[in-house]
Amino acid sequence: MTTGGVINQREADALLVERVKQGDQRAFALLVAKYERRVQRLLSRLVRDSAEIEDITQEAFIKAYRALPQFRGESAFYTWLYRIAINTAKNYLATKSRRPVTVGEFQGADDGEFFDLGDVVEDNNTPDAVLHSRQVAEAVNAAIEALPEDLKAAITLREIEGLSYEEIAQAMDCPIGTVRSRIFRAREAIAQRLRPLLGTKEDERW
């Protein structure tokens, strides 16, 4: 709904989608500009080969452009786009064998866009604190990289993109209960990896 004449993100996207359907390619370019980095960020959590992420992103947007005539606006554009991106990544992974993950290779590990580590590490800039923060960040990212694809996608959409459970269910085309289960299992796996660093008990997370 609009408030005071200001349209929200979903409405703005819907207007651009309608312009694309009417043949305005510049409107689609605006959607690409708005969401390209977010799609790349999502794909970087799902696909290990960083050299392929740009191509997969481009393929996802091409698929989205071709499928736009069938988009009915029942969900937000970005959740629909994320679903296409996730499926494109799954298709890629189905045809490529994933190579082993190595330390220091994690996509996005240093961009501060994943978990808010302020709740799990002491807030100071001493060398020990900085080292500890880096170790925690690496442990989080290593735990995420080790997750099955569906759990990795769910926790990424929740913690990085900030989507609601309903939006994640739409993006992943599954029930909300399944989303909750995947996010719970992902957080448990991450907590298990963090316990030695944080000194938390078995029944604690972070």
Please write the tens of the pLDDT for every residue from 136-162: 677 787 888 889 999 999 999 998 888
32-55 per-position pLDDT tens digit: 999 999 999 999 888 878 888 999
Residue 170 lies in a domain: yes
Same domain, 91 and 179: no
Domain end marker among 75, 99, 123: 99
**Do residue 94 and residue 136 come from a single domain?**
no
pLDDT number for residue 83: 94
2 plus 95 within the same structural domain: yes
Long-range interactions of 180-185: CB distance < 8 A, separation 24+ = 182/150, 182/151, 182/154, 182/155, 183/151, 183/154, 183/155, 183/158, 185/151
Of 68, 99, 130, the last residue of a domain is 99
Residue 36 is assigned to a structural domain of this protein: yes
What is the CATH number for 89?
A: 1.10.1740.10
144 lies in some domain: yes
Per the structure, the count of domains in the chain is 2
162 and 68 in a common domain: no
43 and 79 part of one domain: yes
Domain coverage including residue 198? 113-206
Rounded alpha-carbon distances, angstroms, from residue 33 to 23, 36, 54, 68, 121: 18, 6, 14, 17, 35
User: Along the chain (206 residues), what's the average pLDDT of each consecutive run of 10 residues?
Assistant: 63 93 92 94 87 92 94 90 94 69 35 38 50 70 87 90 92 94 92 74 52
- pLDDT value, residue 182: 94
Print burial letters for 10-41: b (CB count within 10 Å at least 16), e (below 16): eeebbebbebbeeeeeebbebbbebbeebbbb
Q: Is there a single domain that holds both residue 95 and residue 132?
A: no
CATH number at 174 reads 1.10.10.10
Taking the C-alpha atoms of 108, 83, 177 and 8 in order, what is their torsion angle to the nearest 10 degrees? 80
**Of the residues 50, 66, 99, the one at which a domain ends:** 99
How confident is the model at residue 26, as a pLDDT?
A: 92
Q: Do 69 and 125 share a structural domain?
A: no
Do 47 and 89 share a domain, yes or no? yes
The pLDDT of residue 100: 40
